[in-house]
């Protein structure tokens, strides 16, 4: 099994970054070959350019940095997206990564009817960190907005499987111990789902 943990937060000491490292460490301990993509540290450019537009349709050639990201994802079984919730969604850096990397002909295929889903071998887990509390999320529809944008709009369209989804609420005001409990729950949830996927894949090959 292989996994890629993608994190989008500028502060390497942040709770979000620590959560990403904890997920990666746990998967590595579970004998999952795991890499981390720190989009800020790597300087990924999220801007969808004219070059991107030319290479976006099936048959086009995306920019070199996009091809490198696609190669990094090729063959990965589990993708873990770790990010703070900004304005009811993921940060612009991570959204730009999706915009640029998930191209026609690689993530999906508009050349067939119905549209082909090309990421059906990928399980995507979401680990989100939010300043709002759980009650506020439910009251204002954050949960629905995030599910519609990410699970339906991205994972559903590309055919990727939805793995473990976890949210750490009220992250800016709670105690360190309380946050650590939620972090452990997310780490355990992702690890359990990865083990489950591995068992399913093994059974399918038997």
Q: What is the 3-state secondary structure (H, E, C) of the chain?
A: CEEEEEECCCCCCCHHHHHHHHHHHHHHHCCCEEEEEEHHHHCCCCCCCHHHHHHCCCCCCCCHHHHHHHHHHCCCCEEEEEEECECCECCHHHHHHHHHHCCECCCEECCCCCCEECCCCCEEEEEEECCCCHHHHHHHCHHHHHHHHHHHHHHHHHCCEEEEEEEECCCCCCCHHHHHHHHHHHHHHHHHHHHHHHHHHHHHHC
Which band of pLDDT confidence, cut at 50, 70 and 90, is reported for residue 199?
confident
The answer to pTM > 0.75 is yes
What are 143-182's pLDDT values in tens digits? 999 999 999 999 999 999 999 999 999 999 999 899 999 9
Provide the pLDDT for residue 136: 92
Which band of pLDDT confidence, cut at 50, 70 and 90, is reported for residue 201?
low
Q: Is the dihedral of CA 66, 143, 152, 2 positive or negative?
A: positive
Which band of pLDDT confidence, cut at 50, 70 and 90, is reported for residue 204?
low
User: Could you tell me the strand order of the sheet in which 161-168 lies?
Assistant: 33-38, 2-7, 78-84, 123-129, 161-168
Mean per-residue pLDDT, 189-197: 92
- How far apart CA 82 and CA 19 sit, in angstroms, is 8
What are 59-112's pLDDT values in tens digits? 889 999 999 999 999 999 999 999 999 999 999 999 999 999 999 999 999 988
**Phi-psi label, residue 124: left if phi above 0, alpha if psi -120 to 50, beta otherwise:** beta
């Amino acid at each position: 099994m292989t996994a890629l943990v993608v994190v989008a937060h500028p502060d390497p000491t942040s709770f979000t970054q620590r959560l990403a490292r904890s997920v990666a460490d746990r998967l590595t301990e579970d004998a999952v070959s795991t890499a981390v993509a720190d989009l800020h540290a790597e300087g990924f450019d999220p801007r969808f350019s004219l070059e991107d537009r030319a290479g976006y349709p099936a048959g086009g050639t995306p920019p070199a940095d996009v091809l490198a990201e696609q190669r990094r994802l090729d063959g990965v079984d589990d993708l873990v997206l770790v990010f703070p919730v900004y304005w009811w969604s993921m940060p612009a850096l991570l959204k730009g990564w999706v915009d640029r990397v998930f191209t026609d002909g690689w993530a999906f295929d508009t050349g067939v009817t119905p549209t082909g889903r090309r990421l059906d071998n990928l399980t995507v887990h979401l680990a989100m960190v939010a300043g709002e509390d759980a009650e506020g999320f439910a009251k204002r529809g954050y949960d629905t907005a995030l599910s519609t944008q990410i699970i339906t709009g991205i994972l559903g369209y590309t055919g990727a499987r939805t793995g473990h989804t976890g949210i750490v609420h009220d992250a800016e005001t709670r105690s360190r111990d309380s946050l650590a409990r939620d972090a452990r729950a997310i780490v355990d949830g992702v690890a359990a789902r990865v083990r489950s996927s591995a068992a399913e894949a093994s059974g399918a090959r038997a």
